[in-house]
Amino acid sequence: MGLLLFGLFVVIYKCPDYTRVLDDKRNLSNQVMLDRHGRVIRIAPDEHGEYMIWLRHDQIPQLMKNAVIAAEDKRFYRHFGFDPIATSRAIYNNYASGKIVSGASTISQQVVRMVTPRPRTLRSKFIEFFAALKLEWQLSKEEILELNLNLAPMGGYLKGVGIASLVYFDKNLRMLSLSEAASLAALPRSPSRFDPSRPQGHALLMKEKDRIIDRMLSSGFISYEEANTNKRKTVTFRKRNLPREASHFTALALKRIRSNKQIVTTTLDIGIQKNLEQILLSHRSRLNGRGIKQAAAIIVSVRDLEVLALAGSIRYGPIHGGYNNGAIAPRSAGSTLKPFLYATALGKGFSGTSVIPDTARNYRTPLGDYTPLNANRTEYGPVTMSEALGSSLNLAAVKTIEKVGLSDFYNFLERINLVDGRSKHFQHYGYGLAIGNLETSLFNLTQAYGCLARQGKFGKLRLLLDEPMNMVRVLDPQLVTGITEILADHNSRIPAFGNPHYFDFGFPVALKTGTSDGHRDAWVIAYNQGHVIGIWAGNFDGKPSLGASGAEACGPILKDIISGLGGSDSVNRSPADHGPYVRGNSDEDSVYTYLGAEYAKWVYKREMQFGLNRFRLKNPFVIDDGSHDLEGSVGMKVPSKIQDGQRSRISIISPHDKDSFSKPLDRTLIIPLKAAPLEVLPYVVWIIDGVEVARTGAPYEFMWRADGGAHSILAVTPDHEAAKIEIRVE
């Protein structure tokens, strides 16, 4: 007898060690993502493609435990790993029928099999018998029951009652009725046979559910009334879909997780998310009519920079590349960068009333000549900074970046994560940076506008509730207030956009539109004291729209989003003081607006189109002391004050120094010569190869018939200051 016991001890000892099995299995649980209110939005599968929500034994309601015990092992609390009564009965029934009609596996034996799957052989049964004894020796009954309830196969890719309750009933386990708990307890007995998605499987499952309720009654777990109420009661199973909300958002959030936490609470508000998705979908037909197949949007809480909703496409799926996340795709920023340009200008002494020339000019860049245009091909002449930003004028923006400094603006964009160390050097973008030739993402743009909404404090957007909020001040609050006043003032948008209904919110909203070159990207970024909202519309394959601007494409979407959010979190602002232009002091002068030399071409074109009007060039000065008479001078001596391409009181803006031209074989080459004096002049003298060829008043342009060879060109003021360039005609 002693030898037999020793033999049994050796066999049990050699069985697997189960002291750490519970901790190991708990760590293998899937990661469950919740929205900010605790609603499940996604469950990440494990390496085998299976899904599980691990619940500790104290998180599982007793009703569920009782149902499983009644279904599988009603003497679970009274045996040590095997049930002699059930085993004897199974042997008798199988012998009497001549085949296996029932088993006698206890919950402990089932756990052994689920922890270490083995072929269903007699040898496996023998091992499981002794392994169950060791399992009972090393773990408590509650721990064994926890393993069973979490590892049990529940059909397809589902394991455990936690995920099954969510998928089949869309309920937390604690909310299950008796009938539902009994149905879940029945499933592991034969998940395929009891498959509730098939009518036959559902009918068989309901019969098994009733049998388990009878066993619960006989075990004293429920009353007769409870049993009578729930028996023959049909349980409705919903379609077996796993929660997979906000796919683009959750994919980004998963990359932020730095721990093995099983339950992760995100910043998402599933109600706001679903509303956003519905809004984007409702605009699909309208956008398609303008040649736009996709759109993306982000809604952020200003208070804590939490992303409340994020949709990377109109609908997540294969249509028009809907699996792509447009919120993080790099796209041309268009005019959305202008608020940061003007914020930089305010920091250098500009004000909302500073007058900027919105006039055309050609610029020399490392990549060639650059001639910016306004979106509507109109020049507005003298505009205030408020009007330039509000109406998103490109010509004024380029004039501003010229004064602010390209590198200073680029450095600020680096500080707010719109460019990084991997981006191209600022000289690559040139003055086009003022009107958004830089590529960035909707996510980063919305993040950058967060610093305007937070009075100049910049921080990264948060996707998880436990992420720290690190803020750094990048702008003076007074400067931000100035920018916000302009962006919230609908009057400043009227010259370019008119007064579209979709920008009428009933309360102030600061917003900026943007349209990339070729109408490939349309943007609106808006904010108030409550939210920052970013919207992009375009095509993932880069095809241009049918001329849709950021305002036209995204404005109606913004209106619906703000209406859906409700509330009128206002922006503290006062009407912008646009101030007067530079005017004369006399009563007669007050009728006119007098402008400097930078407006010469603009005034000239207006007079050609409208005749004399209120805009005038300042009275040109004339220097004539008798010693520098240029009248009739041919082959005149070259002036001494030549700047060789450097700007003094005059510069040549077309062509550029060292330009080369190819002369057509059968045509005359005509080159436009353009000068830009700092002050209004009565005329400019053009001297080519030492010979005076023309005198031109405003706008100081001359069409020159060029011969082949190298040429020296001078533009000379009446007081003999000059700019000089050299070109070559092949």
What are the catalytic residues? Answer: 72, 335
Q: Are strands 691-696 and 684-688 parallel, antiparallel or unpaired?
A: antiparallel
Burial 531-565, CB ≥16 within 10 A → b, else e: bbbbbbbbbbeeebbeebbbbbbbbbbbbbbbeeb
Amino acid at 466: D
Residue 563 in 3-state DSSP?
A: helix
- Nearest by Cα to 41 from 421, 310, 442: 310
Q: What is the DSSP string of 218-259?
A: HTTSS-HHHHHHHTTPPPPPPP----B--HHHHHHHHHH--S
CA 187 to CA 169: how far, in whole Å?
A: 14
Helices 107-115 and 122-138: angle between axes, nearest 10 degrees:
110
Provide the Cα torsion 634, 640, 644, 650; round to 10°: -80
**C-alpha span between 107 and 76 (Å, rounded):** 7
Measured in residues, the chain has a length of 730
DSSP letters spanning 369-411: EE----TTS---EEEEHHHHHHTT-HHHHHHHHHHH-HHHHHH
Contact 669, 661 (CB under 8 A): yes
Q: Residue 37 and residue 35: Cα distance in Å, rounded?
A: 5
Neighbour tally for 59: CB within 10 Å = 13
Return the amino acid letter for 375. A
Phi then psi for 229, rounded to 5 degrees?
-70, -35
C-beta neighbour count of 285 within 10 angstroms: 8
- Quote the CA–CA distance of 134 and 506 in Å, as a whole number: 72
Task: Provide the token pair at 219.
Answer: 């075990």
What DSSP assignment string belongs to 111-161? Answer: HHHHHS---SSHHHHHHHHHHHHHHHHHS-HHHHHHHHHHHSB-STTBBSH
| Phi, psi torsion values for 511, nearest 5 degrees | -150, 155
600 to each of 382, 594, 608, how far by Cα in Å? 11, 11, 12
Q: Give yes or no for a contact between 527 and 561, defined as CB atoms under 8 angstroms apart.
A: no
